[in-house]
Amino acid sequence: MRGSHFARTRRRSSGAAALLWPLLGACLWAAVVGFKPVIVVHGLFDSSEDFKALSVFINESHPGTNVTVIDLFDRGGSLQPMWKQVEGFKAAIYPIMQNAADGVNLICYSQGGLVCRGILSTLSDHNVHSFISLSAPQAGQYGDTDYFKIFPHFVKTNLYHLCYTGIGQHISICNYWNDPHHRDLYLNNSEYLALLNSERPNPNSTEWKKNFLRIQKLVLIGGPDDGVITPWQSSQFGFYDDNETVVEMQHQDMYLKDVFGLKTLAARGDLILCSFPGIEHVKWHSNETVFHACIEKWLL
């Protein structure tokens, strides 16, 4: 009987050990590898509270990762001018970078993807490893989207008039509104996106390109069922011509002329496109399948 009891006890102990060893191994791996901190920048009308699922996904796949969702310019505050947001987010992010000897990873969602480009272009000593642009209008925004439900009818039908005036540039979305039928107005009035894309004269373009190319990976995530980013290919630097035909990134002047580094990143093998169908815009950061397919591997 004693022998039988001892055998049962040993089997139970072995079973418990079998369950604990993988967990212990994961903790030791995290301690040895030291996953880079992840910084998350939200988009238009979002807040830090909307990214709890993403934080969970990150810590399940990379245990012990320090995830910071920057709590600035929430909700209506996200309509403030883009350069103001760049300076605010930069001030919050920079101390995290300084405390991360091995660098950080940056996940920037929707409008936040453009905020992050402003930070990366103007910060000469950033240490961002992976810049993950999650359904962000990198080449601009144009046309009807689900977000216009919150705007008055006047703005929906006359947005280009609003954006291409002095007052318009004080509204974030106008800083990247890119009307292909009024290209001259975009180039003459855009104080943000046209500068980032070097589509208008910018005395800082060489320095900004050098700063941007400090990143090790650029991951561009988007999909055809987004419903907000218009055209959805803007999330991967594609955009409309004047006939509203989408011109893919590889055929855009900004890529062909390598004005801020896209072609250089591609030549380095550091430009990654992840196109994912069936995802609505507000679901990108809470969809676990998207996380595993497009984000997880770039957080090492």
* Three-class secondary structure of residue 170 per DSSP: helix
Say how many CA atoms lie within 13 Å of 211 toward its Cβ: 17
Stretch (H or E) spanning 130: strand 128-134
**CB atoms inside a 10 Å sphere around CB 225:** 12
Stretch (H or E) spanning 210: helix 205-212
Q: Which residue has the tokens 């009035």?
A: 189
**DSSP secondary structure code for residue 141 in this structure:** B
Q: What are the two backbone dihedrals, phi and then psi, of residue 147, each rounded to the nearest 5 degrees?
A: -70, -20
- Calpha distance 287→281 (Å, rounded): 11
Helices 111-122 and 82-98 pack at an angle, to 10 degrees, of 60
Considering just the CA atoms, what is the radius of gyration of the chain in Å?
A: 22
* CA–CA distances in Å: residue 232 to residues 27, 158, 254: 39, 22, 18
With CA atoms as reference, report the closest residue to 173 among 201, 209, 203, 143: 143
With CA atoms as reference, report the closest residue to 42 among 282, 291, 288: 282
Residues marked as catalytic:
110, 226, 281
